[in-house]
Amino acid sequence: MDVSESHSLAGEFHATREYSQKACEALELEDYGLQAEAFVSPPKWHLAHTTWFFETFLLKPFVKGYEPFHADFEVLFNSYYNTIGAQFPRAQRGLLSRPTVAQVLDYRQHVNDGISRLLDRHDHPRRQTIEERCRLGIEHEKQHQELFFTDIKYSLWANPLYPAVQNHAPAQPAGAAETRWRDYPGGLFEMGVKPGQAGFAFDNEMPAHKVYLEPFSLADRLVTNREYQAFIDDGGYSNPVYWLADGWATVQQQRWTQPLYWLERQGKAMEFTLYGLLERRGDQPVCHLSGYEADAYANWADARLPTEAEWEFAATQQAFHCAPAAGLHPRAAGGGSTAEPLLQLYDSCWQWTASAYRPYPGFTIQPGAIGEYNGKFMSNQWVLRGGSCVSSNHHLRPSYRNFFYLHDRWQFSGIRLARNI
């Protein structure tokens, strides 16, 4: 990487760090410590953990004589890196009233200054590794920017006042196009990313490998609230024939009858959003579904979920276009635009696939703590593809693999249907 590219890396580092704090500006001070369940984290913790990442993987190993901002932060803000050491219990992150928000912001500034000085050292003997680690840290923080929105939404949902993060929802396009089915011939397809290929990719996107696809069809847009309501009205949550056994057991145990964040108020169908309670629109994508619900709906609709290979193949058959979302809620597909074969790939909801989250053939776990980033989670989860309305700018690509447990519903997750030809 030459000096001009290094300046670009430093610029993106600071822009990413600034956006994390900007995303929090609409919060009240009391919101920074909210943690409604163990699987979400408080905003203050996200701000501190992403800082811990840069301090742990860049400043400590590559700056001689570096003095940590606070020795105990290594434990408080370590998420799951067992090779680094002990971690504060995940379920108790909301109890960390100290350090204060102001102290966490001071911590961020301390680390920002240290990274700036490190990136200015173009003669550092580990320069290439530093640049690679910094890029990983930037992409890691972008993941946490998305988690910030999903987590604070879930924690505010627990408040009967249904408070908003943003007060004014942007205008939405009218109507959703009728679903069109796009046919793909299948055949031999090389999916994934080759090591050393231009642009960033996580290790779980590697290595590139060949898969064979039978001919298939994909729906050009995501399933809507109106369409999912028809599944509910037809007894979808009370008929076990549509459900995987574990899914049916989860529905019974959790007493699910509709998607997360749906409710009725004074006879009106409502939906909790980052803009507070809004009247539910039938033409917007149904969102916050578990993998079990997505699979059950697909069965009811005489379709199926796509495999991740099918999704990636189809996405690579059209120009990659991933403009920043126009708001913090999924948007309707619009009035039947045919500019691209597939709509809503990256800007509305992550799309469940039927593929287990497992390593690609030839995948190797990196040595050291960095190797814990993805590899050890390749069990008991399914892959989601695409992106969502709260995904960070310049973070997505056709090969990106997101992954969640099948019962998870707090992510912006939806449905794109597939069929065999």
Predicted pLDDT of residue 198: 78
Predicted pLDDT of residue 6: 47
Predicted pLDDT of residue 335: 52
Tens of each residue's pLDDT in the chain, 421 residues: 333 444 599 999 999 999 999 999 999 999 999 999 999 999 999 999 999 999 999 999 999 999 999 999 999 999 999 999 999 999 999 999 999 999 999 999 999 999 999 999 999 999 999 999 999 999 999 999 999 999 999 999 999 999 999 988 888 777 777 899 999 999 999 999 987 787 899 999 999 999 999 999 999 999 999 999 999 999 999 999 999 999 999 999 999 999 999 999 999 999 999 999 999 999 999 999 999 999 999 999 999 999 999 999 999 999 998 877 889 999 999 754 557 899 999 999 999 999 999 999 999 988 877 887 888 999 999 999 999 999 999 999 999 999 999 999 999 999 999 999 9
Contacts of 135 (CB under 8 A, 6+ apart): 9, 200
The CATH H-level (homologous superfamily) assignment of domain 181-420 is paralog of FGE (formylglycine-generating enzyme) (3.90.1580.10)
**155 contacts 36 by C-beta, under 8 angstroms:** yes
β-bridge mates for residue 264, sequence order: 269
**406 contacts 291 by C-beta, under 8 angstroms:** yes
**What is the maximum alpha-carbon separation in the chain?**
67
Q: How far apart are CA 95 and CA 97, in angstroms?
A: 6
CA triple 401-261-167, angle to 5 deg: 95
Predicted pLDDT of residue 412: 98
Predicted pLDDT of residue 7: 59
What's the predicted TM-score (pTM) here? 0.95
Q: In what order do the strands lie in the sheet with 418-420?
A: 181-184, 216-219, 418-420
Predicted pLDDT of residue 196: 76
Helix (H) or strand (E) holding 229: helix 225-233
Gyration radius (Cα) of the chain, Å: 22
Predicted pLDDT of residue 3: 35
**Domain-wise residue ranges, the chain:** 3-157, 181-420
